[in-house]
Chain A
Amino acid sequence: MIYVNHVSMKFNLGIEKGFSIKQAFVNFFDPKIRKKKTEKKYFMALNDVNFHIEPGEVVGLIGSNGAGKSTLLKVVSGVLKPTKGNVQVNGAISPMIELGAGFDQDLTARENIYLNGAILGYSKKLLDDKFEDIVEFSELRDFLDVPVKNFSSGMVAKLAFSIATIVNPEILIVDEILSVGDIKFQEKSKNKMMELIKGGTTVLYVSHSIESIKELCTKVIWIEHGQIVKIGPTRKICDEYFEAQIGRGKK
């Protein structure tokens, strides 16, 4: 279903600085900086990551902040092109990397349902058919004609979650979103996820909540510093990860 073949992702840290007249001027008079500039700084966000996911598997990604989890999700969903290696995905991906990224603040909830749906690749017909379901699930019927900029972050997340999960995607990429909304909605969204998983959706799931990983995933990939530390059954890897994290904390 998803094949990640020896993927490396190299970021050039110098790019952010870029080139400007001011910088060139300063460099010209300061030989120290001039020397520094020549050595380029790279950061390996992913280093030779290699794994594959079978259809129907629910795979959790764990690791510390900055380990490369989100970068990996972006590579799989096609947002980033890997520097080395390649990714092969068979099936339609529904990315839930950041809820509400496709929302336009000035448009109403109703208009955003269509816009965001189109961004996720839904057809007009599907959106027309499922419109009621989306509204129902999001519990935002009274606010349909209010611009999204007046929404609270919880409401935005609820709406976005409802749009993203309205179809049964073949592959679902989820980045830390089950903690959205109030307790009632959290429960509801978790059930929805369970429903999708039972329906045979392949899921790639990132979370810092070991609890929810244990609950949902069949397999876990643990990455640190852009490299895979271990791949294996959920319970075993989670325990080892937990051990390593706490152990490190004690030192």
Chain B
Amino acid sequence: MKNIKNILANFKRYWYLMTQIILRDFKKKYKRSVLGVLWSLLYPIMMMAVMTVVFSHMFKFSTEGTNYLVYLMTGIILWNYFSEATTGAMTSVVDNFTLINKVYIPKYVFPICKCMFSGINFLLTLIPWLGIIILTKFGLGDYPASINIYYSFIPFIFLFFFLFTVGIGLIISCLSVFLRDIFYIFGIVLTIWNYYTPVFYSLTILPESLQQIFKLNPLYQYINTVRDIVLYGKCPSLLTMGVLAGMGIVSLGIGALIFKKNQDKFIYYI
């Protein structure tokens, strides 16, 4: 209990620093770009448009009885968040070496800031996402999406998803300090993970036996629960929400433990 209080007090103390770091990242990201923050809105729409053309017209992917656009875009925004946040977190500790070497700052600040920074971007992508969902009601795509009361579960799903991502981010940022090869390895892992996650295809195209293996993917669980709500208007069961929360907390717990155990050694390896 005292430990948790300590952590929270520390968090409060460094909160202003974290907002400044996130602000810095934001300013740098859109520096010298004409459209600036508009890109956060345009990018997912463009990605969706390209992928829709490629997958539904060229490869003839479709999801029977549901709106493929919404199916695809839900997958894309969640997957993009995960991939952007973890990739950013991966290099965050190494990139801020000059600071770590000169001033005492708790090092977890850097990967967590990256996850939050991508999180802001993610929240912006929700605007076009909701826009597309509403447009399906006016005839965009083959079937309309569902708008229902269960949307109130979505913020919680996103929160658990955030915790899950922070956990992975902490682990990967810690590993990459000791082994720079991780920069390359993780890129490959992410590509495999991308295909392992049903972003543009549906699990039903796979044989029954394989489907079980694909369902073990935490990302699938998060994406699928959101899709169930927006496409089918299905209320997530208590068990599902429990599993999503559990995965988030376990990931964060493991990440925090690994990071805490190793953070004092960082300075010798950077």
Contacts and interface: CB of A to CB of B under 8 A. Distances in A.
A102 B97 CA distance: 10
Contacts of B99: 101-102, 119
Interface stretch (A23-31, A54-62, A78-86, A201-209): A78-86
Interface in A34-75: 74
A177 interface: no
A123 interface: yes
B103 A102 contact: yes
A79 B268 CA distance: 11
Contact of A97 (B16, B24, B103, B105): B103
Contacts of A106: 27-28, 31
A102 B102 CA distance: 8
A15 B269 CA distance: 7
B103 A111 contact: no
Nearest to A108: B27
B17 A119 contact: yes
B264 A81 contact: yes
A145 to B, nearest CB: 13
Contact of B104 (A11, A77, A124): A77
Contact of A118 (B20, B28, B264): B20
A98 B99 CA distance: 10
Contacts of B19: 118
A118 B27 contact: no
B188 interface: no
Contacts of B268: 11-12, 15
Given A15-B268, A79-B267, A124-B16, A111 B100 contact: no
Contacts of B101: 74, 79, 101
B27 A111 contact: yes
Nearest to B31: A106
Interface string B28-53: 10010000000000000000000000
Interface residues of A, number: 28
A115 B267 contact: no
Interface string A114-135: 1100111111100000000000
Interface residues of B, number: 23
A118 to B, nearest CB: 4
A115 B24 contact: yes
Contacts of B100: 79
B98 A115 contact: no
A155 interface: no
Contacts of A97: 102-103
Contacts of A111: 24, 27
A228 interface: no
A95 interface: yes
Nearest to B98: A101
Nearest to A98: B102
Interface string A89-115: 000010101100110101100010011
Interface in B198-213: none
Contacts of B104: 77-79, 93, 95
B24 A107 contact: yes
Most buried by B among A104, A107, A118: A118
Nearest to B263: A81
B184 to A, nearest CB: 13
Contacts of B16: 118, 122-124
Contacts of A101: 98-99, 101-103
Contacts of B28: 104, 106-107
Contact of A104 (B24, B102, B269): B24
Contacts of A12: 268
A81 B261 CA distance: 13
Contact of A119 (B27, B105, B264, B269): B105
A40 to B, nearest CB: 13
A114 B103 contact: no
Given A114-B20, A123-B16, A79 B27 contact: no
A120 B31 contact: no
Contacts of A78: 104
Nearest to B268: A15
A106 B98 CA distance: 15
11 contacts: A74-B101, A77-B104, A79-B104, A80-B267, A81-B264, A101-B101, A102-B99, A104-B28, A106-B28, A115-B24, A119-B103
Interface of B: 13, 16-17, 19-21, 23-24, 27-28, 31, 98-105, 264, 267-269
Given A97-B103, A114-B20, 18 more contacts: A15-B268, A74-B101, A77-B103, A79-B102, A95-B102, A102-B103, A104-B28, A106-B27, A106-B28, A111-B24, A111-B27, A115-B23, A115-B24, A118-B17, A118-B20, A120-B103, A121-B17, A123-B16
